[in-house]
Amino acid sequence: MIKQELPPPPPNMPETHDTIRTTTSSQNDASQVSNVLILMTGGTICSVKSTSGLIPAGNFLETCMSSRPSFNDGSTPSTFPVITSDSIAAPIPHKALTTPLSEYGRRIRYCVYEFTPLLDSSAVDASVWLKIVTLIWRNYDAFDGFVVLHGTDTMAYSASALSFLLQDLGKPVVLTGSQRPMGELQNDSTDNLLGSLILAGHFCIPEVTLYFNYQLFRGNRATKISATAYDAFASPNLPPLATITATGVHVRWDLINRLDPSRTFSPPLTLNLGSAHVAFVRIFPGITPLLLRTILDARTNTRGLVLESFGAGNIPNTPGPNGEPGLVDVLAEAVKRGVVVVNITQCLNGNVSPLYAPAVRLAEAGVLLGYDMTGEAALTKLSYLLATKGESNKEVKRLMAVSLRGELTRGKEVWFGKGHPPSGVGARSRL
């Protein structure tokens, strides 16, 4: 079950898209097998037509995978014991299939665990994230990698949330889905699922990733950009971690997060991100301070706010029609009450920075820079920190500016306080 891969290219190598293949004792040795657990949450990939539109359907392994030669080498099916409850003494056997031998001299043996009920991804919430985390933790030692089948609408949110929840992850977790059901003649499901299996079963990429249309993205850097196109996802501020082409799998090993060998996989199994009470507001022309004040009202128990602002981090501060405080003033009041506010850009690419006066006013009001985080990453990271750090807003604010799982790139630091800037903040950037 132990996978080996060639070491990453030395730092001084100019080539950044080397194809790295797993190695075995013999490239023709069919006994080399990786074990992968597929978690089926629902989504388009398993959906069928009904009078109410497409709905997720069960028995995915039998109806969609066993009859396809690329997913079944025809060997006698065996079973995998999957631990589905806290009673580890009674794992439930699941039918397993094996892929044909890959070009890397390895087969992938896998089984499918289906959620009950199967979900349209619009119904995914923090409880589903916790269930995925728990299933991976319970079966962590028995499998080399994990594939999560998921609807596309909220896949980027789930990929971001799982990246924070699966702390000290040492194995691949790949989320994928499709724009067309696998049961239809023309679909993108087959390639998305097979590519995910190849990556999870052959390459030691110990991150939560999202694979779609031959590209593997860091999960907390991905965002959905199309409701209909097969290239439905993008990673605007970070190149793909891997791509699959006619010449094989090309991995950017220089971008892969490496696990600290001194740490062990220890996800928080009782953490409910839904308890963090984080809101998300997209600024638009004409937004009133009253609307923002209503969202931030103390009675709503809002503890965090992700603010999607214009351009490089700008919002207006026009007073209300009756002279009420402007948006920045409303945010400053909320920050004083302990609400953590994070500013990110509405733009698909780029980052927020105190370049213009409106963004400087926000920073002076205590609003945090979200750098180049996606909305999905900012929302789930803030929820994760508020849920884990309790009432320690100081620590939450500090960690929002730290790249925990490769979710952000920090630019030049700007100091808005009095006196000398703290360590790590360049004096030249002091305002």
In angstroms, rounded to a whole number, what is the distance separating the alpha carbons of residues 234 and 157? 13
Q: Which two structure tokens, joined as six digits, stand for 421?
A: 């800037």
Q: Which two structure tokens, joined as six digits, stand for 209?
A: 């990733």
In angstroms, rounded to a whole number, what is the distance separating the alpha carbons of residues 113 and 83? 10
Q: Which two structure tokens, joined as six digits, stand for 386?
A: 């508020």
Distances (CA, A) of 209 to 218, 219, 290, 322, 396: 5, 4, 39, 49, 24
Q: Is the peptide bond before 117 cis (omega within 30 degrees of 0)?
A: yes
Q: Which two structure tokens, joined as six digits, stand for 38?
A: 């597929």
Is 44 one of the annotated active-site residues of the chain?
Answer: yes
CB 162 within 8 A of CB 132: yes
Rounded to the nearest angstrom, the gap between the alpha carbon of residue 305 and the centroid of all alpha carbons in its chain is 19
Q: What is the DSSP letter of 135?
A: H
Catalytic residue among 44, 98, 176, 223: 44
Q: Which two structure tokens, joined as six digits, stand for 354?
A: 């105190």
Please tell me whether residue 257 adopts helix, strand or coil conformation.
coil
In angstroms, rounded to a whole number, what is the distance separating the alpha carbons of residues 314 and 334? 18
Residues labelled catalytic = 44
